[in-house]
Amino acid sequence: MTEIKNAHFTTLQGAYDTELMEATLRIRRWDPDTQRARFDTFTVTVPVTASVLDALDAIKDTRDGTLAYRKSCRMAVCGSCGMRIDGGAALACKTPMKKFVDAGHTITVSPMGNLPVIKDLVVDMAPFWEKIRAVKPYLDTKDEEVPDTEWRVSPEHHEMIHKESLCILCGCCVSECNSMESDPDFLGPAALAKAYRFVGDARDTDTRERLRDLNGAHGIWDCTRCYFCNQRCPKGVDPRDAIAKLGAESFKEGFVRDEGARHAKVFVDSTYKGGYLRETELVPKTIGPVNAVKDIPFALQLARAGKVPNPLSPHKAKDNDEVKRLWKLLEKEAKGAERPRAMHPDAVREG
Amino acid sequence: MQERYAYYPGCLASLSQKELDSSTRAIAQKLDIELVEMPSVTCCGAGDIHEAKPDYYLHISARILGQAEQMGCETILTICNVCTLNLRQANKALQEDAALLNRINDNLKEVGAATYQGGVDIRHLLWEVSEGNGYEAFKGIAVKSLEGLKVAPFYGCQILRPSKILGFENPDAPQSLERLISACGAEPIDYPAKVKCCGFPIVLAREDVALGELVQPLEQAVEAGADVIVTPCPLCHLSLDAWQRKAADYAGKEFGIPILHLAQLLGAAAGIEESELKFKRHVTRLSPEVKAKLQVPSVIGTEA
């Protein structure tokens, strides 16, 4: 009978057939009973192939059974073991220990950010799930009858939401979201990537309602483009890019009233009209003339330092008519385009 | 570092942040770099056009890149994080998708604009002078030691992340600004928020959210004892400098920390005059002590 091998069990037995190494980890502990944080440092013997998760398992099995962390699949699929490794959120199971050992570096392991800590490395994911639920993370085909057979999506249509479909809901993108640190109610990168996964789905018919909801307070225009989410995502979802796609879909559907959308429109119009950004139009057109008037004392501070360009003679690039023609050409092209739609199976059957 | 670049200062350095443009030109002259003007370019879109009209964004980017190509320049020199990311992001998309590039070139041809063959690279000034021959060349012109000046580097986001598009250095532990601060004879100050966001992209649309972000680097740099903050991005500069008053009101405390453009710090060490560096164009003024430190005329050691 094959013996069931457990990494540290066999490590303890000295029965591992692979080379071993000594790994040192500094771990942030949080005791919910005393409400106190402390750092513990452990050195454990692990195989050279060990991940950070394997090292944590070795610590829990051989050094301190009270160490709390989440894990399940150990292969970067379940999304349970998100934690900060040297301050950056990552999956412990997907992070090899060897590079740190080779560098003689003691890693610091701490819980993910932007979520309350329950114990040690375990965070409360409730606010995370609440936001995922808020974007209606399921297909809505409204009046369309639920078909008896599969509702097929062409490879081309799937490609549009492929990256967003890869999300494993681990929370690494949320951990370092700079906007969320400042506005905890911001829907954030995970929920917005999920939102695009359905906005971009060629079967979903709830597009306009979804986009309307995403264009309000704490929605897509809260994103400060810090790109931590793209940097941290262990699956290549690139949530910031998904947020940009939601912006583009909002423009297509005419949702252009949010201050964020109005801000974006000034950039588009500036290139079309002259080349460079018309900075003096940015403030009144984004926040409205009334709020702009309230901001006059601030504008005067900037003007005193010479930071307000003359609005009467805006920048005009050479040959900018090319851009104007380009804009018209693309708008004409876009007008004819229809929203991608996967045919209902019944319609396919009926030919 | 190369001898010749297509120079893309971008909107801010051309309009409200002119001190960055004049400092950069002065530094380039000292380094003997030729900056070739690009008179027909538009804004890079700053992420806003990418978000609103992605196809148009790719077209205007291809037009900018195509102009550099037609000028016979292999590399566009940028002095703004946002220009760097937006042009590099578009460049990557165009270089990796021949069908896309073909379609865009057909459209560019139709409107009489320069087409793009895919052969241009985009590099930020920071990257060009913080390593290799550019770094050696800078050390050669850094004749004035800024000894005693404590400088907090603020990288901003879009020169670090996403690293698959930028990729110059480790986005979590960058060292290029520190290297240059040391080369100026000044002392780099470390603080965690140096790689975080200044809030600028949403400072108009979501002022409170942005100020909550902006407070972090200001607070931490001051607490760490910095005399000034230096940044490679004119948007971060505008946020840290011009919005500092609002951040102070938001946080209920004074910061009073002057913000330098990277080219101004380098310029001060290279002995460039105030008439080019234009510190007076800052909203948060230099204190007399900092001014004195930036103008100390002692010579750096013999290593250069």
Nearest alpha-carbon partner for B259 in B244, B276, B275? B244
Q: What is the mean pLDDT of residues B166-181?
A: 98
Average pLDDT of every residue of chain B: 95
Instruction: Flag whether A271 is in a domain.
Output: yes
My answer on whether A90 and A163 are in the same domain is no
My answer on whether A155 and A116 are in the same domain is no
Indicate whether B71 pLDDT > 50: yes
**pLDDT tens digits for range B86-111:** 999 999 999 999 999 999 999 999 99
My answer on whether A113 and A134 are in the same domain is no
My answer on whether A321 and A195 are in the same domain is yes
- CB proximity under 8 Å: B 273-302 to A: 280-283
User: Both ends of chain B: CA-CA distance in Å?
Assistant: 17
My answer on whether A209 and A148 are in the same domain is yes
Q: Can you give the pLDDT at residue A351?
A: 59
Looking at chain B, which residue has its C-alpha nearest residue A301? B283
> Do the Cβ atoms of A205 and A142 come closer than 8 Å?
yes
**pLDDT tens digits for range A156-215:** 999 999 999 999 999 999 999 999 999 999 999 999 999 999 999 999 999 999 999 999
Distance (Å, rounded) from C-alpha B9 to C-alpha A13? 64
Band (B276; pLDDT cuts 50, 70, 90): very high
My answer on whether A96 and A161 are in the same domain is no
Interface confidence (ipTM) of the complex:
0.95
DSSP secondary structure string for all residues of A217-230:
TTSGGG-----HHH
- CB proximity under 8 Å: A 165-204 to B: 178-179, 181-183, 186
Distances (CA, A) of A187 to A124, A174, B123, B174: 16, 10, 34, 29
Looking at chain B, which residue has its C-alpha nearest residue A243? B51
Q: With 0-12 CB in 10 A as exposed, 13-18 as middle and 19+ as buried, what is B106?
A: exposed
**pLDDT tens digits for range A282-315:** 888 888 888 888 888 888 888 888 888 888 778 8
Helix (H) or strand (E) holding B201: none
Q: How many CB pairs under 8 A join A and B?
A: 210
Q: Which domain covers residue A197, as residue numbers?
A: 125-278+314-351
Do A262 and B205 lie within an 8 Å CB cutoff?
yes
Instruction: Flag whether A333 is in a domain.
Output: yes
Whose tokens are 């402390």? That residue is A38
Do A244 and B53 lie within an 8 Å CB cutoff?
no
| Interface check A207 vs B, CB under 8 A | no
Distance (Å, rounded) from C-alpha A72 to C-alpha A81? 8
DSSP secondary structure string for all residues of A309-341:
--TTS----TTTHHHHHHHHHHHHHHHH-----
Do B54 and A244 lie within an 8 Å CB cutoff?
yes
Whose tokens are 């971060």? That residue is B236
Q: How far is A305 from chain B (nearest CA, A)?
A: 5
Last residue of a domain, one of A123, A142, A168: A123
Q: What CATH number corresponds to the domain at position A132?
A: 1.10.1060.10
The DSSP 8-state label assigned to residue B114 in this structure reads P
Distances (CA, A) of B62 to A245, B68, B91, B105: 20, 10, 7, 8
Entry pTM: 0.94
Which chain B residues contact residue A251 at CB under 8 A? Answer: 52-53
Last residue of a domain, one of A123, A151, A171: A123
Instruction: Flag whether A305 is in a domain.
Output: no
Hey, what domains does chain B have and what are their CATH numbers?
A: 4-125 (1.20.1050.140), 143-294 (3.40.50.11810)
> Do the Cβ atoms of A199 and A207 come closer than 8 Å?
yes
Indicate whether B282 pLDDT > 70: yes
Which chain A residues contact residue B93 at CB under 8 A? Answer: none
Which chain B residues contact residue A277 at CB under 8 A? Answer: 11-12, 15, 43, 46
**Which amino acid type is present at position B62?**
A
Percent of chain B with pLDDT over 90: 94
My answer on whether A104 and A132 are in the same domain is no
Indicate whether A102 pLDDT > 80: yes
Do A276 and B18 lie within an 8 Å CB cutoff?
no
- CB proximity under 8 Å: B 42-101 to A: 42-43, 45-56, 59-60, 63, 85
Distances (CA, A) of B2 to A31, B123, B175, B264: 56, 11, 22, 21
Last residue of a domain, one of A71, A90, A123: A123
**pLDDT tens digits for range A219-231:** 999 999 999 999 9
Looking at chain B, which residue has its C-alpha nearest residue A179? B209
**Which amino acid type is present at position A292?**
A
Instruction: Flag whether A295 is in a domain.
Output: no
**pLDDT tens digits for range A122-149:** 999 999 999 999 999 999 988 777 788 8
Helix (H) or strand (E) holding A11: helix A7-13
Instruction: Flag whether A185 is in a domain.
Output: yes
Q: How far is B2 from chain A (nearest CA, A)?
A: 26
The region of weakest confidence among A47-61, A65-79, A256-270, B103-117 is A256-270
My answer on whether A102 and A174 are in the same domain is no
Do A298 and B246 lie within an 8 Å CB cutoff?
yes
My answer on whether A148 and A107 are in the same domain is no
Choose, out of A110, A178, A300, the residue to mutate when testing the contact with B (most B CBs < 10 Å).
A178
My answer on whether A203 and A345 are in the same domain is yes
Instruction: Flag whether A159 is in a domain.
Output: yes
Instruction: Flag whether A299 is in a domain.
Output: no
Pair of tokens at residue B270: 């290279």
**pLDDT tens digits for range B220-271:** 999 999 999 999 999 999 999 999 999 999 999 999 999 999 999 999 999 9
Distance (Å, rounded) from C-alpha B39 to C-alpha B14? 11
Count of domains forming chain A: 2
My answer on whether A111 and A153 are in the same domain is no
Distance (Å, rounded) from C-alpha B257 to C-alpha B88? 32
Q: What CATH number corresponds to the domain at position A98?
A: 3.10.20.30
Instruction: Flag whether A329 is in a domain.
Output: yes
Closest partner residue to A317 (CB to CB) among B42, B51, B242 is B42
Looking at chain B, which residue has its C-alpha nearest residue A185? B209
My answer on whether A103 and A142 are in the same domain is no
Indicate whether B287 pLDDT > 70: yes
**pLDDT tens digits for range A234-251:** 999 999 999 999 999 999
Q: How far is B169 from chain A (nearest CA, A)?
A: 13
Nearest alpha-carbon partner for B128 in B28, B233, B10, B269? B28
